[in-house]
Amino acid sequence: MTVSDTALNALPPDKQLVVTAILAKLTAIAGVRAVVLGGSWAHGTQTSTSDIDLGLYYDEKAPFDIAAVRRVAAEVSVDGEPVVTEFYEWGAWVNGGAWIHTAGGKVDFLYRNLDQVRRVIAEARAGKTTLDYLQQPPYGFRSVIYLAETSICLPLYDPDHLIAELKQAVVDYPPKLKESVIQGNLWSVEFTLLHARTFASRADVYNTVGCLTRALSALTQVLFALNETYFISDKRAIDTIETFGIRPEDYRARVERILAHPGADVDALSQTVAALDELFRQVVDLAGAWYQPKYGL
């Protein structure tokens, strides 16, 4: 087994020891084609209590044995029986894994189907993306997350250079992806605002606020695309947007005002929708020729 020192060095010494021991066991399992360090430790956004995310890559037609993964998880667990799932037990995108409490802290295994990742990257390069709302809160799972994961992950074990090949495919942000994300999401916001105005005029808090969160989630996608940055998670999305060169002024403060105090009567709700509309118009201006409205709304 050859382990990448670059990836291990992203971890503190105590966690390096645990991950090295886990890798020795995982890489002995037939069908484990690659293992990567992902999540906040790979992205450089970790805290001292952050979980260690390990991606386990396999071929669709020759997956590894879940029972073998379950044995590894049990061997390194220091706090009872760990959770280990079957393939796709967590959904079509977060397609299984394990939660383990180890001597070096919490470690998560995340299964990744190499063929699925390749398909998603190819589709994204052609401008096709998918949103699976039911996969995870708060706004669902977007297929572009696979490209972000591929971009930031640090290969720990990649004997056949499979991860290296995937990473090469996402070095440049695809122009067709940029076009489709901007066009599709700005149209979604424009259409959502049309409904939000009606709901606000009826003092319909439930539906107005639903429109606010829907529209702001779409604006998040647009700003990531305008800055040619792969979206990876809603958890720190606003923090990331604050670092972008292309964004509306005072974006975080304006988003938080819209969401924190939407109001409960016609006047307040309508003012909040108007604030969202102003934010939308500014993002449209930033998008320039990347956005062409479908209809004259």
- pLDDT per residue as tens digits for the range 228-267: 999 999 999 999 999 999 999 999 999 999 999 999 999 9
18 in the same domain as 161: yes
86: which residues sit within 8 A by CB, 6+ positions away? 66, 96
223 in the same domain as 86: no
pLDDT over 80 (residue 51): yes
Q: Which of 169, 200, 215 lies at the terminal end of a domain, its last residue? A: 169
101 in the same domain as 182: no
Instruction: Please check whether residue 297 lies inside any domain of the structure.
Output: no
> What is the domain-level CATH number for residue 188?
1.20.120
Tally of structural domains, the chain: 2
Tell me the average pLDDT across 123-151. Answer: 97
> What is the domain-level CATH number for residue 105?
3.30.460.10
Q: What percent of the chain has pLDDT over 90?
A: 88
The tokens for 231 are: 């979206």
Q: What is the pLDDT of residue 241?
A: 98
CA distances from 238 to 29, 52, 133, 232, 252 (A): 39, 23, 19, 12, 6
96 in the same domain as 116: yes
112 in the same domain as 180: no
The angle subtended at Cα 153 by Cα 151 and Cα 156, nearest 5°, is 140
Please report which confidence band the pLDDT of residue 49 belongs to, taking 50, 70 and 90 as the band edges.
confident
219 in the same domain as 81: no
Instruction: Please check whether residue 10 lies inside any domain of the structure.
Output: yes
Coil, strand or helix at 287: helix
Q: What is the pLDDT of residue 73?
A: 97
162 in the same domain as 30: yes
pLDDT over 90 (residue 4): no
Which string of DSSP letters, residue by residue, matches 19-76?
Answer: HHHHHHHHTTSTT--EEEEEHHHHHT---TTPPEEEEEEEBTTBPPPHHHHHHHHHHH
Tell me the average pLDDT across 157-182. Answer: 98
Quote the CA–CA distance of 110 and 92 in Å, as a whole number: 13
Instruction: Please check whether residue 296 lies inside any domain of the structure.
Output: no
CA distances from 263 to 34, 165, 257, 273 (A): 50, 50, 11, 10
Instruction: Please check whether residue 223 lies inside any domain of the structure.
Output: yes
127 in the same domain as 201: no
User: Environment class of residue 266 by beta-carbon count within 10 Å: exposed (0-12), middle (13-18) or buried (19+)?
Assistant: middle
250 in the same domain as 125: no
Tell me the average pLDDT across 186-208. Answer: 99
Tell me the average pLDDT across 117-130. Answer: 99
163 in the same domain as 22: yes
Of 37-41, 78-82, 275-279, where does the model show the most confidence? 275-279
Q: Which of 139, 169, 199 lies at the terminal end of a domain, its last residue? A: 169
Instruction: Please check whether residue 245 lies inside any domain of the structure.
Output: yes
Tell me the average pLDDT across 94-114. Answer: 95
Quote the CA–CA distance of 237 and 97 in Å, as a whole number: 24
Each residue's pLDDT tens digit, 23-35: 999 999 999 999 9
Q: Quick one: CA torsion of 144, 145, 146, 152, rounded to 10 degrees?
A: 120
Please report which confidence band the pLDDT of residue 3 belongs to, taking 50, 70 and 90 as the band edges.
low
Name the least confident of 9-18, 69-78, 92-101, 280-289. Answer: 9-18
DSSP 160: T
- 157: containing domain: 3-169
Q: Which of 100, 135, 169 lies at the terminal end of a domain, its last residue? A: 169
pLDDT over 60 (residue 205): yes
φ, ψ of residue 36 to 5 degrees: the values are -130, 155
106 in the same domain as 138: yes
179 in the same domain as 164: no
